[in-house]
Amino acid sequence: MTPNGFDVFWFVAFMLVAAAFLNSLPLVGLDGGYFLLLIWQGLTGRALTSRVISVHAHISSLILVCLMAWKVYYALTHPVIL
């Protein structure tokens, strides 16, 4: 690490960009999911039914749980050796 903290700055910048990208995914638990539903309502001109929103929420939750499980599995099977 450099004395002026340059490496820390780039690490924090990278983490913020990665978080912004993940937050923009079209999943209900994230902001991208709400934007997707708002865009769909704007294009069709009518509100979505509660069933459509519920199905989207369930599928999005399943995708998020699968991604988390995959990351835990990958972290356990590919240890980092320092």
Written as tens digits, the pLDDT of the chain (82 aa) is 566 666 788 888 899 999 888 888 877 777 777 888 888 889 999 988 989 888 888 888 898 899 899 999 999 998 887 6
Residue 82 falls within a domain, yes or no? no
Predicted local confidence at residue 4, as pLDDT: 61
In a domain, 14, yes or no: yes
**Number of compact structural domains in the chain:** 1
- Whether 1 maps to a domain, the answer reads no
Torsion region of 3: left, alpha or beta (phi above 0 gives left; psi -120 to 50 gives alpha): alpha
Residue type, 35: F
Residue-number span of the structural domain to which 53 is assigned: 6-77
Q: According to the model, what pLDDT value does residue 1 have? A: 54
